[in-house]
Amino acid sequence: MLKYFASRLLTFIPTFIGVTLISFAFIRLLPGDPIIVMAGERGMSPERHAELTAQYGFDQPMYVQFWNYLTGVVQGDLGNSFVTKRPVWDEFFALFPATLELSLCAMIFAVALGLPAGVIAAVNRGKFFDRALMSTALIGYSMPIFWWALLLIIVFSGILQWTPVSGRIDLVYYFPNASGFMIYDAIMSGQSGALWSAIRHLILPTIVLGTIPLAVIARQTRSAMLEVLGEDYIRTARAKGMSPSRINAVHALRNALIPVITVIGLSVGTLLAGAILTETIFSWPGIGKWMVDSIFRRDYPVVQGGLLLIAVMVMIVNLTVDVLYGIINPKIRKR
């Protein structure tokens, strides 16, 4: 197991260098001089332009810029944002807890509903429940996030007034020196009602962000289950007179989980993409909106640093998924 883990970890290094290069090149491939964009209509004199170009190091050859960037990255320095002038690292970790909290909730929501829904649909293949569920999943998958979010806000926050419109917690609550994980902060503050307020604020964004992964997981679970249920060993188990619930839960589901876990791992990317819109609509202070704003402003350090950090997060998730495979299916780690 340890050897398997180490071999997976080794693949990290070339991927990391590749990602660094791509994130560096990506923003520079976009047309647009960041200094001119910064000045806008106001413009600036050619002397001032040259001065700033030199200050930011854009006058150096590309490979020198990349080398400087890479040596910075290795030392944990991702540079400072052009816009806020603050270290990219600080900004990322100020915002990341919000994204992580929301993504985790969305994932739990998607898995908690998607897995059982997929299993039930597979067991009741072709029946009404199966068809209803799969059509709903298709709708969920194709729903534009923006529209879906506004619809939920108008119904649940506007008309019914069950949930707050946006934000992470009522403005009543203020936690100095907080961790950024609102649920945790609310519990630690000991203020009455804080936890409930934080949870109420999480409901709609969780549903919106979790909808697409939920649909994908439900469909994937269903088809994986169907495949497994047709296998010989299931028939054997049935022939032996094992109870259907035991067959489904222990023999079928465990084997069907492998492709499902792959999908869950891949959904992390989808979650980050969805987070951009979800965060914008729900005024959720996470990294999605931060990245998009930075691309428009040609804020090079933020875009390349942010991309790199996100890529590392995805790599960590993939590594976890690989390790999980090994736990679920011992055959894989022996390969």
Partner 1 sequence: MLLKAKMLGMAAAMALTAGGAHAQALVYCSEGSPEGFDPALYTAGTTFDASSHPIYNQLVEFKVGTTETQPGLAESYEVSEDGMTITFNLRQGVKFHSNDIFTPTRDFNADDVIFTFDRQGNPENPYNEVSGGTWEYFNGMSMPDLIKEIEKVDDYTVAFHLNRPEAPFIANMAMDFASIVSKEYADAMLEAGTPEMLNQAPIGTGPFTFQAYQKDAVVRYVRNDDYWGDPAKVEALIFAITPDASVRYQKVQAGECHVMAYPNPADIEAMKADDGVEVLEQEGLNVGYLAYNTQVAPYDNPTVRKALNMAIDKQAIIDVVFQGSGQIAKNPIPPTMWSYSDATVDDAYDPEAAKAMLEEAGVSDLSMKIWAMPVQRPYNPNARRMAELMQSDFAEIGVDVEIVSYEWGEYLERSKATDRDGAVLLGWTGDNGDPDNFLAVLLGCDAVGGSNRAQWCNEEFDEVVKAAKVTSDQAERTKLYEEAQAIFKDQAPWATIAHSVVYMVTRPEVDGYVVHPLGGHIFNQVGLK
Which residues contact partner 1 (rule: CB under 8 A)?
A: 31-34, 36-44, 48, 52, 55, 80, 82-86, 91, 94-95, 98, 150, 153-154, 157-158, 161, 164-168, 170-174, 176, 178, 280-286, 289-290, 298
Nearer to partner 1, 41 or 232 (CB): 41
Residue tagged 């993504």 (tokens) = 103
Q: How far is the CB of 172 from partner 1 (least distance, A)?
A: 3
Q: How far is the CB of 152 from partner 1 (least distance, A)?
A: 11
Nearer to partner 1, 218 or 277 (CB): 277
Produce one character per residue of 173-195: b if its CB has 16 or more CB atoms within 10 Å, e if not.
bebeeeebbbbbbbeebeeeebb
Contact yes or no for 256/224 (Cβ under 8 A): yes
Q: How far is the CB of 204 from partner 1 (least distance, A)?
A: 11
Nearer to partner 1, 281 or 313 (CB): 281
Q: How far is the CB of 153 from partner 1 (least distance, A)?
A: 6
Nearer to partner 1, 26 or 174 (CB): 174
Query: How distant is the alpha carbon of residue 275 from its chain centre?
Result: 7
> Tokens for 48?
């001032």
Residue tagged 């976009």 (tokens) = 30
Nearer to partner 1, 18 or 158 (CB): 158
Q: Report the sign of the C-alpha dihedral through residues 232, 234, 238, 242, in that order.
A: positive
Cα–Cα distance for residue pair 77/305, rounded to 1 Å: 9
> Tokens for 310?
């996100």
Q: How far is the CB of 105 from partner 1 (least distance, A)?
A: 17
Nearer to partner 1, 220 or 280 (CB): 280
Beta-bridge partner residues of 87: 80
Q: What are phi and psi of 83, to 5 degrees?
A: -85, -55
Q: What are phi and psi of 43, to 5 degrees?
A: 70, 175
Q: How far is the CB of 250 from partner 1 (least distance, A)?
A: 46
Contact yes or no for 271/107 (Cβ under 8 A): yes
